[in-house]
Amino acid sequence: MSKIKIAPSLLAADFGNLQHDVEMVNNSDADWHHIDVMDGIFVPNISYGMPVVKAIAKHATKPLDVHLMIIDPDRYIQTFADLGASILSVHYEVCTHLHRSLQAIKSAGMKAGVALNPHTSVRLLKDTIQDIDVVCLMSVNPGFGGQSFIENTYNKVKELKELILRKGANTLIEIDGGVTAKNAKALTDSGADILVAGSFVFKSKNPAKTIKELKEIAG
């Protein structure tokens, strides 16, 4: 059984038929639903907010992995817990008091995630890694789906894995952006535990089959 988790990104789903795509993920070999919330300020795009997350939660039978690409995420921690998020990731770049944000996420009953932009060094997490359940490494510049993968990500994964092992943490490494069948195995070989795939899954002819194949390649 593969220990690698696949989290299809619903940003690439068909919003006119969202229930159908959520149910496809439910019935597939995927592990989580990945949900990107963007505010148009931290990233140059606006995705969807609470009503859409609520609609997804109503139909989802797998954990909601919510990635907040927003400024001042602390304001919304309890809101997303109430909406049914299982994992909540905030961006390192916007958290003035990261440790406090992580504790607030855990207090609200969710797993605490930290997302890093491509240019943000994993070394900045050395003091908080033991408090982090998931580190989401952005392998594209955040804000838009369908971008091409940044090759330096492999080095970041290895460096982060070393930090996790050195500190005796149980943190999982998640890769978000440009994940395909071509790079999945190299990513998991480097130390990744969770692969977020958006366009690659939802733009394929048979998304459920694509998820299954991605999991087999990655595992």
Active-site amino acid positions: 36, 176
Please tell me the distance from the alpha carbon of residue 173 to that of residue 161, in angstroms, as a whole number.
8
The sheet carrying 172-176 orders its strands as 5-8, 194-197, 172-176, 134-138, 111-116, 85-91, 64-69, 33-38
Environment class of 194 (CB within 10 Å of its CB; exposed 0-12, middle 13-18, buried 19+): buried
Please tell me the distance from the alpha carbon of residue 40 to that of residue 75, in angstroms, as a whole number.
16
DSSP assignment of 11-76 equals: GGS-GGGHHHHHHHHHHSS---EEEEEEBSSSSS-B---HHHHHHHHHH--S-EEEEEESS-GGGG
